[in-house]
Structure 1
Amino acid sequence: MVGIRVGGLASGMDIDQMVSDLMKAQRIPLDKINQKKQFTEWQRDDYRSMNSLLFDFDKFMFDGVMKQGSYLKKTVSILNPDAVSIKNINSTIDFSGTIKVNELASAATMSSKIPTSITDSTKKLSDFGVAAQQITIQAITKEGGLQTEPYTLTIDPTVDTLDSVIAKINKDSGVTAFFDTTSKKLSISAKNSGDIASSAEIILTDNGPGGGKFFNDVLQLNTNNDLAKINGVGKEGVNASVTYNGFDLTRSSNTFQINGVEFTLKKKTDPEIVSFSSSPDVDAIMDTVVKFVDKYNEAIDKINKKIKEDRYRDFQPLTSEQKKELSDKEVEQWEEKAKSGTLKNDSILSGSLNKMRLDLYGSVSGTSSFKQLTEIGISTTSNYLDGGKLNIDENKLRAAITNNPNGIYELFQKSGTTTEEKGLAQRLREAIKSTMKDIETKAGKSTSVNNTFTLGRILDNYTNQITRFNDRMMQVEDRYYRQFTAMEKAIQRANSQSNYLMQQFSN
């Protein structure tokens, strides 16, 4: 702790200002260390921004040109789209055929035989004499079979209302229940359509006491929809019936797949036969490839600019004292120059660019069709200043998509054991991951501890130097004050002696 200093009483000098001026010269080496530390921090941050750029590009490739679904997009022509909708799911080839809708699938339903004794669905069930009990529900599944694990619900009539029970059933079981407050009847329908030949599609079971069973006695429901149908308060589920390319098929749902193509039935067409055919959705597939090219060009443009950025060595990071002497605008302009060139001619980034270019322009061996980007209309620009940006011949790319979209997928995504056998996107991802690893070794991540990466260890060293230098500066400053204090004391003694002599001479 520094005590209060009062100097210059004897000499009349501004000791604090003199010490401050002397310390400015002493602080010059410390300012240089702080400037080096600041520049290293900027360099670390710029490395990390490059890693974020590469990570985004890598993810963009994975979600775009490397997804087979990107090339399976098809335009489907249907003679009667009001009756049937068709979309491709995973068929790699074009398809065509005919379909006739003989019957639409529908869900099984059932309802109360007579009005229930429940007059208010918001009141507790105990108000209507309902006993505590357990109920179970089995219903048809999406696959067209009966649930093997029934839905089970324990009813607490002191807590539950009919509305709360219905809410639980609708949320977790295979049926949907609805209470009509006017007729006081409950309606239940299966969530999935279709017919189970060997069983009912909805089966209700309760174990309440005699005369108090929830489904049978309280809600006046049959134990299953087949019995409800006999009693005139229910119906069976119905399977969809179609004639596909002359072959009769049944499905439990109006939406189903055949050979990777999804059909959704909307209405009966019998006796009309609906024809359909598909072709590649050239615009959608082209959009995927174009976006990849744009993202690649954006990435190499930003990396190129960073490694070619000028380094202004006359513009060193500003110290806190220097910032005080400048306006905010001047500080901003200065630091724009000072931050420039942190990654100029960086070997990691320039090496990565070269590797990416080589990987992208090389041939892919073992493909069934396209082996190079130029074969699908993608080449480098003629201007060497672009740094290897890609250019698209739209007509050639459209033709390649029209003729063989899966061949383009193979060009990008083909797997292999050697670089030559791997698809272009596979190679790029490997190059990107290698670069990101090298950058991480040098600049770490936002969560990294300084001693785990190169620049972090350099920053720790600067911090230690600054700490030691500050300790030494305090010693130097203290020495200056001690010297000036000694001078003040000497002047004070000289003044005292002079006053004494003058006094003696006067006597």
Structure 2
Amino acid sequence: MVMRVSGLASGMDIDDIVSKLMTAQRVPLDKLYQKKTYTEWQRDDYRTINTALSELDRLISDGIGRQASFIKKTVSVSNPNAVSIKNVNSTTDFSGTIEVKELATAATMVSTEKVMDVTNATKFAGQTITIKAINKDGTFDKVKDKDGNIVDKVFTYEVKSDDTLDSIISKINAESGVTAFFDEKSGRFSITAKNTGKAVSEHEIALSSSGDFFTKLKMSATSTEAATADLKNDSGIVVGKAGTVGENAEVVYNGLTIERSSNTFRINGAEFTLKEKTTGPVTFSSTADVDSIFDTVKKFVDSYNGLIATISSKTSEKKNSSYPPLTDEQKKEMTEDQVKKWEEQARKGTLRRDSNLTSLLTKMRTSLYTQVEGTSLGTLDKIGITTTKNYLEGGKLEIDEEKLKAAIAEDPNAIYELFMQDGDPKEGKQGIARRLRAELSAGMKTISEKAGSASSVNSSFTLGKLLNEYDKKIDSFNDRLTALETRYYKQFTAMETAINKANSQSASLSSYFSS
């Protein structure tokens, strides 16, 4: 380590002199830092473009790329209090009549009389409870027993010593096909099947236990038995039946009498929900939900235009050579606002005339303008979407709202085919959105190879490798500067030592003469 002398002998400010000498030597290093900073800006701007490409791709996937976006319908029902109808996946409009003769009901079971002393569940510890309940279609799931025989699947639970009636009921409600409830005030237990409708065979609900759990609760063994068992009040007088069997909904659909196990069911892609019985037919009809479909298409157009504007502005933006990236020393001499304004100018032109981006723009436009063979519409202008007349806008799209809404009302599925037809791209049969997504995907891949992503390591993409090279050069240059600074101080130290020695000799000589 070289000891630094600070000009005591010479009277010179050595540190200041060396600092000024090093400032001149650091100019090439500052230029390296500036090149690195500009490359980082370029990398970040590429990534911003890639994010925009990804957002458009996702918007297509979630919007015009889904048939569900084009089959949205407004359904008119003459008696919405009795029946509600919504479209699920019908691609065509539908209409007709439906008359509700009977609603689907769930099987129920209640205690035949008041239950005494069952809240203390410890007496049932060790008992195994089993409950069998119907599925939505009125059948039972099948499983193999330990002997390999095919049997009905049942809910099974062994009562624990620390169980309470509430914990047993919670277990039943969570895992079986029924809902159980005990009313302490009336002293009655009830069970209702979660699924409505009539069992295809046997009973909707069947109860059993290895002990007297359900006997203590005064429950029948099945919903069929409960429907015939007497329900007694606290005085022992019969007041009705202790249950009901499940019943199917019965409707007359377009003149045909049909049954369904649930009050909610689908016919030809439409979902019907029965609410009450009717005294006659309820009419219904559907039309395309024009406004909703229009909004989906408009979102795509707006996003596409935003992307076009972003890429066009970045590729045409001129670099401002009067504003190079600031060094750390320069930033220290400026206010935060001054640095911000400077860097707004310095960051310009990072993607000017980028061949990958300009090529992507051309391919995107081609994807939109080329006719889609094999579709009834063929081109976007048939649905009122054209390019703006202002060529300076870089091929942005504009919508004739009236024409687009008319096309949607006439045949929304044809618009979906125009966007998403799956055909041979070489024969021009691939839909506009499919073509565009392919170009977006290729563009994102190219940009990722050049600029990577936030999680990428520098060695995996082109600009990252360049940044690594800058780091190596900067490290090497810093080593040289450190060596040079050390040499300067050695030289000045030698000078100071020489001056100090000369001064000592001079003082010594003077002492001889003075004596």
TM-score by length of 1: 0.95
**Equivalent residue for 1:179, pick from 178, 182, 191:** 182
* Partner in structure 1 of residue 129 of structure 2: 135
Alignment check: 8 A CA contact 2:132 2:206 kept: yes
Aligned pairs for 1:329-478 within 5 A: 329-367=337-375, 369-419=376-426, 420-478=428-486
Question: In 2, Cα distance between the equivalents of 1:138 and 1:130?
Answer: 20
**Equivalent residue for 1:254, pick from 257, 260, 263:** 263
Tell me the alpha carbon deviations over residues 243-264 of structure 1, each in whole angstroms, 9 at most, x when there is no partner: 0111010000011111111111
Find the residue that maps to 2:206 and give its secondary structure: strand
Question: In 1, Cα distance between the equivalents of 2:154 and 2:55?
Answer: 45
Alignment check: 8 A CA contact 1:130 1:218 kept: no
The alpha-carbon deviation at position 3 of structure 1 amounts to: 6.8
Alignment check: 8 A CA contact 2:136 2:195 kept: yes
Question: In 2, Cα distance between the equivalents of 1:21 and 1:151?
Answer: 90
Question: In 1, Cα distance between the equivalents of 2:29 and 2:137?
Answer: 75
Aligned pairs for 1:117-132 within 5 A: 117-118=116-117, 120=119, 125-126=121-122, 129-132=123-126
Tell me the alpha carbon deviations over residues 95-140 of structure 1, each in whole angstroms, 9 at most, x when there is no partner: 11111110000111101223334464xx6x21xx222122222211
Q: Which moved more, 1:482-491 or 1:6-15?
A: 6-15
The alpha-carbon deviation at position 151 of structure 1 amounts to: 4.3
Matched, 1:148 2:142: yes
Which residue identity lines up with residue 130 of structure 2 in the other structure?
T
Alignment check: 8 A CA contact 1:119 1:184 kept: no
Which residue identity lines up with residue 158 of structure 2 in the other structure?
I
**Equivalent residue for 1:229, pick from 215, 224, 227:** 227
Q: Structure 1 pair 476/254, CA: closer, same or farther in 2 (3 Å)?
A: same
Question: In 1, Cα distance between the equivalents of 2:357 and 2:116?
Answer: 78
Question: In 2, Cα distance between the equivalents of 1:454 and 1:178?
Answer: 68
Alignment check: 8 A CA contact 2:78 2:282 kept: yes
Question: In 1, Cα distance between the equivalents of 2:176 and 2:421?
Answer: 44
* Partner in structure 2 of residue 108 of structure 1: 107
* Partner in structure 1 of residue 150 of structure 2: none
**Equivalent residue for 2:247, pick from 238, 250, 255:** 238
Question: In 2, Cα distance between the equivalents of 1:15 and 1:299?
Answer: 58
Alignment check: 8 A CA contact 1:7 1:14 kept: yes
Which residue identity lines up with residue 110 of structure 1 in the other structure?
M
Question: In 2, Cα distance between the equivalents of 1:104 and 1:500?
Answer: 125
Find the residue that maps to 1:230 and give its secondary structure: coil
Question: In 2, Cα distance between the equivalents of 1:189 and 1:202?
Answer: 8
* Partner in structure 2 of residue 157 of structure 1: 160
Question: In 1, Cα distance between the equivalents of 2:159 and 2:200?
Answer: 36
Which residue identity lines up with residue 500 of structure 2 in the other structure?
Q
Question: In 1, Cα distance between the equivalents of 2:42 and 2:175?
Answer: 55
**Equivalent residue for 2:302, pick from 281, 294, 309:** 294
Question: In 1, Cα distance between the equivalents of 2:255 and 2:2?
Answer: 103
* Partner in structure 2 of residue 41 of structure 1: 40
Alignment check: 8 A CA contact 2:108 2:244 kept: yes
The alpha-carbon deviation at position 219 of structure 1 amounts to: 2.2
Alignment check: 8 A CA contact 1:357 1:388 kept: yes
Tell me the alpha carbon deviations over residues 222-274 of structure 1, each in whole angstroms, 9 at most, x when there is no partner: 2211111111211000100000111010000011111111111111113x111
The alpha-carbon deviation at position 146 of structure 1 amounts to: 2.3
* Partner in structure 2 of residue 319 of structure 1: 327
Alignment check: 8 A CA contact 2:77 2:285 kept: yes
Alignment check: 8 A CA contact 1:134 1:152 kept: no
Find the residue that maps to 2:283 and give its secondary structure: strand
The alpha-carbon deviation at position 505 of structure 1 amounts to: 1.9
Alignment check: 8 A CA contact 1:138 1:147 kept: no
Find the residue that maps to 1:86 and give its secondary structure: strand
The alpha-carbon deviation at position 352 of structure 1 amounts to: 0.6
Q: Which moved more, 1:165-174 or 1:15-24?
A: 165-174
Which residue identity lines up with residue 416 of structure 1 in the other structure?
G
* Partner in structure 2 of residue 263 of structure 1: 272
* Partner in structure 2 of residue 485 of structure 1: 493
For structure 1, the residue ranges without an aligned partner over 5 or more in a row are none
Q: Output the aligned Cα RMSD.
A: 1.4
Question: In 2, Cα distance between the equivalents of 1:110 and 1:147?
Answer: 21
For structure 2, the residue ranges without an aligned partner over 5 or more in a row are 144-152, 230-240
Alignment check: 8 A CA contact 2:118 2:165 kept: no
* Partner in structure 2 of residue 170 of structure 1: 173
Alignment check: 8 A CA contact 1:146 1:201 kept: no
Tell me the alpha carbon deviations over residues 351-401 of structure 1, each in whole angstroms, 9 at most, x when there is no partner: 11110001101100011x110000011000111111111011111111111
TM-score by length of 2: 0.93
**Equivalent residue for 1:499, pick from 503, 507, 510:** 507
Tell me the alpha carbon deviations over residues 180-200 of structure 1, each in whole angstroms, 9 at most, x when there is no partner: 110122111011100014221
Find the residue that maps to 1:248 and give its secondary structure: strand
Question: In 2, Cα distance between the equivalents of 1:207 and 1:305?
Answer: 78
Question: In 2, Cα distance between the equivalents of 1:316 and 1:169?
Answer: 73
Which residue identity lines up with residue 391 of structure 2 in the other structure?
Y
Question: In 2, Cα distance between the equivalents of 1:481 and 1:118?
Answer: 100
Tell me the alpha carbon deviations over residues 190-226 of structure 1, each in whole angstroms, 9 at most, x when there is no partner: 1110001422111122223xxxx322x3322222111
Which residue identity lines up with residue 309 of structure 1 in the other structure?
E
Percent identical: 53
Find the residue that maps to 2:485 and give its secondary structure: helix
Q: Structure 1 pair 186/5, CA: closer, same or farther in 2 (3 Å)?
A: farther
The alpha-carbon deviation at position 156 of structure 1 amounts to: 3.8
Tell me the alpha carbon deviations over residues 315-342 of structure 1, each in whole angstroms, 9 at most, x when there is no partner: 1111111111001111111111111221
Aligned pairs for 1:89-104 within 5 A: 89-104=88-103
Which residue identity lines up with residue 39 of structure 1 in the other structure?
Y
Alignment check: 8 A CA contact 1:113 1:220 kept: yes
